[in-house]
Amino acid sequence: MCGIIGYIGKKQAMPILMDGLRKESYRGYDSSGIVVFDAQNNATCLKAVGKLENLENKIQGQELKGEIGIGHVRWATHGEVTETNAHPHTGCQENIFVVHNGIIENYREIREKLIEKGHKFVSETDTEVVAHLVEHFFDGNLEDAVRKALKLVKGAYALAVVAKEDPNKIVVAKLSSPLIIGIGKDEYLVASDQNAIAPYAKKIITLEDNEVVTITPDDLCIIKEREPEDLEIETGKTEKGKYPHFMLKEIMEQADSIEMPLKGRVRFDQGLAKLGGLDQVSDKLKDIERINIVACGTAYLAGLTAEYMLEEYAGIPCEVDFGSEFRYRKPILNKKTVVLAISQSGETADTLAGIKEAKEKGVMTLGIVNAVGSTIARETDAGIYNHAGPEIGVASTKAFTSQLTVLALLALFLGRQRQMSLITGQNIARELLNIPALIRELLKSEAKIKELAEKYKNYKNFFFIGRKYNFPIACEGALKLKEISYIHAEGYSGGEMKHGPIALIDESFPTIALCPSDSVYEKMVSNIEEIKARKGPVIAIATEGNEKIKELVDDVIYIPKTLEMLTPILSVIPLQLFAYYTGVLNKCDVDKPRNLAKSVTVE
Ligand code: G6P
């Protein structure tokens, strides 16, 4: 989703801005732009739709010299993907330039008032009103004008603003959307995430809500005195290496990305999970009576799987909500409730809103987050990092399996605080430690899954079904397939098929059925029978050694045997590979699927 970058210092701004935009491009974007001010304060603003290369091509052959500038990658919310709608936006006099991440909710109202005052708008965006509003209040002092403008604005924003007539400064402001200032040697950077500025800054200041800060080449007039923190970026390679796509690389490295969160956290002898991030709240957790999980997308499906884990093994009632629904349904929270956010990026606006809601009600908040130092990691009372390494592919894969792993650790931790026996604890610990080896084994079926993708790639619809622990995995399989290959897919509980969806089944509508040898295996077999009776093709995901299933279904992918609770960590992997190869064979941009963003920072 939108990414902001800014530079002010003694170096040429343009290459640094472009480098930052490249690093922010993994978030998902559809157009981009930069503005650079030269020594005489002439502004050159260039924008392009599509890939960043299009902007790079425009820059070539232009004299884009200057030591101050701002840039943006846009993920369209208000207005189509056009050059005019791309940022930076400017006012009528082309004095003020603004880049923005977030949504100005009352933009129509402000726009109408400004039009009455003679302002002329050129784009369909909400952001353009900020440029005009700042212009309206501008009398030589940019910071004052930004402050006045923001008093009228409702919604969420991270902003960087520059003005020709108040040169040598960038004014930045934030409410709800993330923004950081990087501190280099005689230079400052502004960015939406830490990775974008890593080569230039070792210290950062994370802007707080409602702060407005003026940055000049030699000063950072931060309103509240705050010590800069160390820049913390996730370690791990952000190159594709031998793989054609990040998605495949991230699928194939899951044995390692699962080993990381397990490292040092599993105590087999004591049948315990040692979770350092929960130390300070450990005693309070002994008394909690309910867990409300808040998450979005794939992380939400990890949450749904955790509901089964936490209720079965920790005996704690658990509810799972989309971040976007949680606070609007007026959840009943009390002092014995914990609100747990699950988020790879740690920046998802809806999930963050859930955490804020819980904090307002005085409820303890926890986070399971991959991106170190991200907003959700900072806003929650305590938490557990995934340490899965950077995930670049827009569709989440290794972050998901690492979320499931951490959630299993949490179930073990909370379970052992309660009724769980040492033997059960040891059993979970042993099986968890064994999972990376099982994944290495399972990944050997890559070629077989590719063959299946070849066989099924032209079908227009798919069902994914599963029960109990594998019901959320069916939903995740369907989500992966639709986002990567644009094929219509639905995830259902196997038992629920006969209450409606089965009406769609015929020979042209295949089903992928998750039927490992677990406590609901027989029930799943009945559900598969119902589909076969209606001539629906079925691919089964079954446990190694189950030869009988071959008689019933069209194709089988085998997964190794593990504890029922941990099966999802294995069963999702063939579904990720199936989505990947179906997408590739259908010539889709699997790392950056159309319309999607990696980091969804607007509500
Ligand atoms: C976007 C991504 C998904 C991700 C979801 C939640 O939709 O494309 O892959 O699952 O956001 O993101 P989070 O960073 O909070 O896990």
Per the structure, the count of domains in the chain is: 2
Asked if the structure places residue 86 within a domain, the reply is yes
* Residue among 365, 346, 544 at smallest CA distance from 445: 544
CATH of the domain at 141: 3.60.20.10
Cα three-residue angle 357-327-321, rounded to 5 degrees:
110
Q: How far apart are the CA of 350 and the centre of ligand 1, in A?
A: 11
> Would you state the pLDDT for residue 221?
63
Is the CB of residue 98 below 6 angstroms from any atom belonging to ligand 1?
A: no
236 pLDDT band, cuts 50/70/90, is low
Q: How many angstroms is it from 33 CA to the middle of ligand 1?
A: 25
Which pLDDT belongs to residue 307? 98
Backbone phi and psi for residue 295, each to the nearest 5 degrees, phi listed first: -165, 170
Catalytic residues: 2, 598
pLDDT recorded at residue 47: 97
Q: Which of 237, 253, 283 is the last residue of a domain?
A: 237
Tokens, residue 467 = 């029960």
Whether residue 297 is contained in a domain is answered as: no
**pTM strictly above 0.75:** yes
Q: What is the pLDDT of residues 170-181, one digit of tens each?
A: 999 999 899 999
Q: For residue 420, give both structure tokens.
A: 């769980």
Per-residue model confidence (pLDDT) at position 225: 65
Q: Pocket of ligand 1, candidates 2, 247, 344, 483: which has the most ligand atoms within 8 Å of its Cβ, to mutate?
A: 344
* Ligand 1 neighbourhood includes 394 CB (under 6 angstroms): yes
| Residue 429 domain-assigned (yes or no) | no
Q: How far apart are CA 176 and CA 165, in angstroms?
A: 29
What mean pLDDT, rounded, does the chain reach?
94
| Average pLDDT, integer, range 463-467 | 98
The percent of residues above 70 in pLDDT, for the chain, comes to 98
Among 220, 237, 254, the domain-final residue is: 237
Asked whether the predicted pLDDT for residue 222 surpasses 90, the reply is no
Q: Is 164 exposed, middle or buried (0-12, 13-18, 19+ CB in 10 A)?
A: middle
Which residue would you say has higher pLDDT here, 260 or 480? Answer: 480
Q: What is the mean pLDDT of residues 226-246?
A: 79
Query: Mean pLDDT throughout 446-461?
Result: 98
For residue 48, the enclosing domain spans 3-237
- CA 427 to chain CA centroid, Å, is 32
Closest CA to 470 of 518, 511, 433: 518
480 in contact with ligand 1, CB cutoff 6 A: no
Which atom of ligand 1 lies at the shortest distance from residue 295's CA?
Answer: 15
Examine residue 37 and state whether it is found in any structural domain, yes or no.
yes
Q: Residue 574 above 70 pLDDT?
A: yes
Strand partners, 341: 294, 367
Domain of 525, CATH number, reads 3.40.50.10490
Distance separating alpha carbons of residues 197 and 22, to the nearest angstrom: 11
pLDDT at residue 230 above 90?
no
Please indicate, yes or no, if residue 436 is contained in any of the structural domains.
no
For residue 74, which of 96, 102, 53 has the smallest C-alpha distance?
A: 102
- Among candidate residues 205, 237, 269, the one where a domain is terminated: 237
pLDDT at 602: 81
| pLDDT tens per residue, range 427-453 | 999 999 999 999 999 999 999 999 999
pLDDT in the model for residue 194? 86
For position 235, what pLDDT does the model report? 54
Please give the pLDDT value at position 346. 94
Question: Does the pLDDT value for residue 286 go beyond 80?
Answer: yes
Question: Is 343's C-beta closer than 6 angstroms to any atom of ligand 1?
Answer: yes
**Domain assignment of residue 23, yes or no:** yes
* Among 75, 247, 298, residue to substitute to test ligand 1 (most atoms within 8 Å of Cβ): 298
Query: Tens digit of pLDDT for each residue in 336-395?
Result: 999 999 999 999 999 999 999 999 999 999 999 999 889 999 999 999 999 999 999 999
| Residue 419 maps to a domain | no
Does some domain include residue 338? no
pLDDT tens readout for residues 581-600: 999 999 999 998 998 888 88
For residue 237, pLDDT beyond 80:
no
What pLDDT does 223 receive? 54
Q: At what angle do helices 13-24 and 52-59 cross, to 10 degrees?
A: 170
Is residue 324 lining ligand 1, measured as CB closer than 6 Å? no
